[in-house]
Structure 1
Amino acid sequence: MQKAISIYGIVTITALAFFAGCKPASPPDYKPRVHIGRENGKYMLFRNDTPFIIKGAAGFTHLRKLQEAGGNTIRVWDTLHLGRILDEAQAHNIAVIAGFPMPASGFLAYYEDTTKTAAQYTAFRAVVNRYKSHPALLMWCLGNELNFPYRPMFKPFYKAYNSLVNMVRTEDPDHPVTTAIINLDKNSIYNLRWKVHGLDLLSINIFNQLRSLEQDLGKVSWAWNGPFLITEWGVNGPWESEFTAWGSPIENTSTRKAEQYRELYEQHMPVNHPRFLGACVFFWGSKQEVTHTWFSTFSSTGAISQTVNTLQYLWTGQWPAQQAPALKYMLVNGKGARNNILLKPGAPQKAEILFETPPADSLRLHWEILPEDWYMKDKYTPNTRKPAPLRGLQLSAKGYATTFRAPEKEGPYRIFVTVFDNRGQYASANTPFYVVGP
């Protein structure tokens, strides 16, 4: 994460205006379709004059399952296929937070090129005017994790950004405008307050630091005390995890992750905070980010994880009648990931899984060995494509165990298992290991 430069000095609180204080004026009798109100000291999002608490997910697939689980909102990061997504969301009574993708503030060459920023302005304006009347639209999110730095060299970025905020507010006064920052970064908050004009609320992408969010909100309230939305939350990211000796993050089983989702929501989600508008879990679907299982709540074939079961309980107070298999852990040659497993090239190995409770029905196990995914397109963009599984290494499988040959090439790998039941649900686990050359 690129760090903004701190600002020091004394600032008079009365000189600070709320984010939306500079948005275009509307007629006195005008009432936006979606707006933020404040009653008895509590902020509330209103949709068609009805209070609306966001119970959402980041992603754009499995919308019927989201509705069945009690969710009411999705958050998307770009406008690709936005029309289709809005139509499908409307069919399932789901609201959409539509994101505009923008280069990070550190790409100064982009923001200094007025031809490129003008083209961006024109493209975004066309999207706003095309979809602003869609009944599924909830709000616009202008940029994701851009970082809002202080130094004067970023003036072109702020000029372009403010121009876009003003355009969205002018073209579509019916929907709020926000931006998503990483954690409760105080430097970005200060600079959003001083340098950006017209945002209606602040959105936060937060994982492990959700545990201290309520306390951190108090620390920056002197500079910003408006409404907030959590646009991404979830279990510890790979950057927040334990690591092997060679630097591979250690991933929990799908069962342990489901437990962490429940713990985070019940113990740390600030649902009673007077400025809280709701939250979107990350990630509703299947995606590659370090592994293809870390943030996935569905398998690539659409099977449901225990996390989906847990979210249904958190959103509705009711568990589903049937739940996904519950795994305890995986062992390789009797060892866990924290034992820093080293293997010889081509040597036979054994992997096995253990369950929290004995399985109630027949299960199908799918084993895979993949090279560790350390590829980064750039410092902002991890790989989003699952590495190709290595073929011909599995020797045999029996029950809840498999034997396999270690790869011949030295380096870091993982062995994965996906456990499917006969009700469309699954569990997953993986263990990293390192092949040491002869």
Structure 2
Amino acid sequence: MKILSVLFAGLLLYTTAAARQPQQGVAVKKAGDGFHLYIDGVQTYIKGVGGTNAIDVASASGANAFRTWGGTVESIKNDTELAAASNMYILQGISMTKDSASYFDENYKNKVRADVRQLAEAYKDEPRILAWALGNEIELGNANIRAAWLFIEELAQLIKSIDKRHLVITVISHNAEALDSIARFCPSLDFVGINSYGSIVSIADMVNKSAYKGAFMVTEWGPTGFWEVPKTSWGAPLEQTSEEKRQVYEQRYNNYILANKRCLGSFVFLWGQKQERTPTWFSMFLERNVKGLPVSGEKTPMVEAMQRVWAQKEPPQTAPVIKSMRLNRQVASGNVRVRVGEIIAAEVDATDREQKQFTYVWEILKEATVLGFGGSYEPRPDRYGEVVTSGKNQIKTSVKEPGNYRLFVYVLDNTGFASTVNIPFQVY
């Protein structure tokens, strides 16, 4: 009897110790009418950024993850080292085509299968990877078809046969039909990533009305997209000022991401800089190393916004606040047109909470005509004339070639923050 008692006590001690051990890997668990994400047994809400730019700034600002859209064994190694150094997690993308024909092409599918297997085997035990993201908005081409979603399901099962630690998802645009297709054809996915910009105000309604009943994450979000805003009479989309963007970043995060119980977190877009209709539309940092342009990756008010909502307190330093900009006394929505050679007089009204002195950088770019699709590469539009840098909030200039242009101003407070605004105009 004494031996049995000792064995029972030992078993109880072992069971108790095992229960205290953190649960290894990443998991999604139902919690009432919502869901929670766990990493090694610790409930974790994802405060993520899109891209690998300035990860030190992201971490210091309160972020705990970053997202990539693809990678090789070599590039992922670099990203995991970056994540480890910054105490971050990675939503690791696996690139897939938007062309429906490829999902009937065994050569293409075999290559993807081989790539996916290689990545899963190489990183099945990597603690810094959160999940594998199969594709990004494949339905934006013509691939919202059964064959494509069945291939996503096949790949999800392939990864899970190798990698027991990480989750597997796919990422779609704000698309109810695609979400219903995932519910029907992709049962092995652990949650769904949804990219949503101006339409994020209706994301809860879309998800709740769909056939999909699982968790989701907002894998891209930010300003109102160029496809969602009013346009000039010649078709130029009207970009929000950086102050308007700051406001919507804060509102959208608090009201449509943080407040949604089925949402596991988000990745704000873009924690870096890219040309997409303009150099500033989705960019949360200014450009670097552009010849003749004296800016060097300054933070925009959208970075300030994320510092505020992630920490739920005021950041120690804030960006300039652009109240308005006028060109020949007209705002951007005024369909501004000028004659060839006519004087263009522009003025920007900006203030600063810390009352810093401003530097104003003025630049005229031709309207973008070489356009990407679904976030693909776009070249920076050609500049007209020279960049003007001064301490004045006004400028007078002229354009001597007919065409469609934008006048940009960058307002720098010389503390590492900058705000932007632009007005499209037509020269005839």
TM-score of the alignment, normalized to the shorter chain, above 0.5: yes
- Of 235, 240, 251, 2:228 maps to 240
Q: CA deviation at 1:275?
A: 1.8
TM alignment of 1:73-88, pairs within 5 A: 73-79=65-71, 81-88=75-82
Q: CA deviation at 1:428?
A: 0.7
Query: What is the match of residue 13 of structure 2?
Result: none
- Deviation track 1:131-170 (CA, whole Å, cap 9, x = no partner) reads 232221111110111129999x945434433321211111
In 2, the alpha carbon distance for the partners of 1:332 and 1:273 equals: 41
The answer to whether the 8 A contact 2:176-2:206 is kept is no
Q: CA deviation at 1:261?
A: 1.1
Q: CA deviation at 1:397?
A: 5.5
Query: What is the match of residue 103 of structure 1?
Result: 97
The answer to whether the 8 A contact 2:370-2:379 is kept is no
The answer to whether the 8 A contact 1:205-1:230 is kept is yes
1:372 is aligned to 2:367: yes
In 2, the alpha carbon distance for the partners of 1:189 and 1:435 equals: 44
Q: Judging changes above 3 Å, is the alpha-carbon distance between structure 1 residues 407 and 70 closer, same or farther for their aligned structure 2 residues?
A: farther
Structure whose residues are more often helix by fraction:
2
Query: What is the match of residue 189 of structure 1?
Result: 179
Query: What is the match of residue 18 of structure 2?
Result: none
The one-letter amino acid paired with 1:212 is S
- Of 215, 226, 230, 2:214 maps to 226
The answer to whether the 8 A contact 2:171-2:192 is kept is yes
In 1, the alpha carbon distance for the partners of 2:307 and 2:101 equals: 45
In 2, the alpha carbon distance for the partners of 1:161 and 1:216 equals: 22
The one-letter amino acid paired with 1:64 is D
The answer to whether the 8 A contact 1:310-1:319 is kept is no
Q: CA deviation at 1:32?
A: 4.9
Q: CA deviation at 1:116?
A: 1.9
- Of 102, 106, 115, 1:123 maps to 115
The answer to whether the 8 A contact 1:142-1:179 is kept is yes
The answer to whether the 8 A contact 2:45-2:264 is kept is yes
TM alignment of 1:156-305, pairs within 5 A: 156-183=147-174, 185-220=175-210, 223-269=211-257, 271-300=258-287, 301-305=296-300
The answer to whether the 8 A contact 2:139-2:172 is kept is yes
User: Percent of aligned positions with the same letter in both sequences?
Assistant: 28
In 2, the alpha carbon distance for the partners of 1:352 and 1:132 equals: 56
In 2, the alpha carbon distance for the partners of 1:72 and 1:340 equals: 43
Q: Bigger shift: 111-120 or 59-68?
A: 111-120
In 1, the alpha carbon distance for the partners of 2:240 and 2:128 equals: 35
- Unpaired runs of 5+ in structure 2? 1-21, 288-295
Which has the higher relative contact order, 1 or 2, with Cα contacts under 8 A spaced 6 or more apart?
1
1:50 is aligned to 2:34: no
1:433 is aligned to 2:425: yes
The answer to whether the 8 A contact 2:149-2:182 is kept is no
Query: What is the match of residue 17 of structure 1?
Result: none
In 2, the alpha carbon distance for the partners of 1:363 and 1:149 equals: 44
Larger Cα-atom Rg: 2
- Deviation track 1:233-290 (CA, whole Å, cap 9, x = no partner) reads 1121011111111111111211111011112223333x24332211111111111111
TM alignment of 1:298-337, pairs within 5 A: 298-300=285-287, 301-337=296-332
1:400 is aligned to 2:378: no
In 1, the alpha carbon distance for the partners of 2:141 and 2:231 equals: 30
Q: Judging changes above 3 Å, is the alpha-carbon distance between structure 1 residues 312 and 149 closer, same or farther for their aligned structure 2 residues?
A: closer
Q: Judging changes above 3 Å, is the alpha-carbon distance between structure 1 residues 136 and 398 closer, same or farther for their aligned structure 2 residues?
A: closer
TM-score using structure 1 length = 0.85
Which runs of 4 or more aligned residues in structure 1 lie more than 6 Å from their structure 2 counterparts after TM superposition?
148-151
Q: How many residues align?
A: 398
The answer to whether the 8 A contact 1:165-1:197 is kept is no
Query: What is the match of residue 53 of structure 2?
Result: 61
The answer to whether the 8 A contact 1:393-1:405 is kept is no
Query: What is the match of residue 290 of structure 2?
Result: none
In 2, the alpha carbon distance for the partners of 1:109 and 1:224 equals: 26
- Of 376, 392, 403, 1:411 maps to 403
In 2, the alpha carbon distance for the partners of 1:297 and 1:148 equals: 24
The answer to whether the 8 A contact 1:139-1:177 is kept is yes
The answer to whether the 8 A contact 2:277-2:371 is kept is no
- Unpaired runs of 5+ in structure 1? 1-29
Q: CA deviation at 1:57?
A: 1.3
Query: What is the match of residue 343 of structure 2?
Result: 348
In 2, the alpha carbon distance for the partners of 1:392 and 1:272 equals: 47
The answer to whether the 8 A contact 2:366-2:383 is kept is yes
Query: What is the match of residue 6 of structure 2?
Result: none
Q: CA RMSD for the aligned pairs?
A: 2.4
The answer to whether the 8 A contact 2:362-2:387 is kept is no
The answer to whether the 8 A contact 1:305-1:425 is kept is yes
The answer to whether the 8 A contact 1:290-1:383 is kept is no
Q: Judging changes above 3 Å, is the alpha-carbon distance between structure 1 residues 362 and 381 closer, same or farther for their aligned structure 2 residues?
A: closer
In 1, the alpha carbon distance for the partners of 2:331 and 2:31 equals: 52
Partner of 1:419: helix, strand, or coil? strand
The answer to whether the 8 A contact 2:340-2:399 is kept is yes
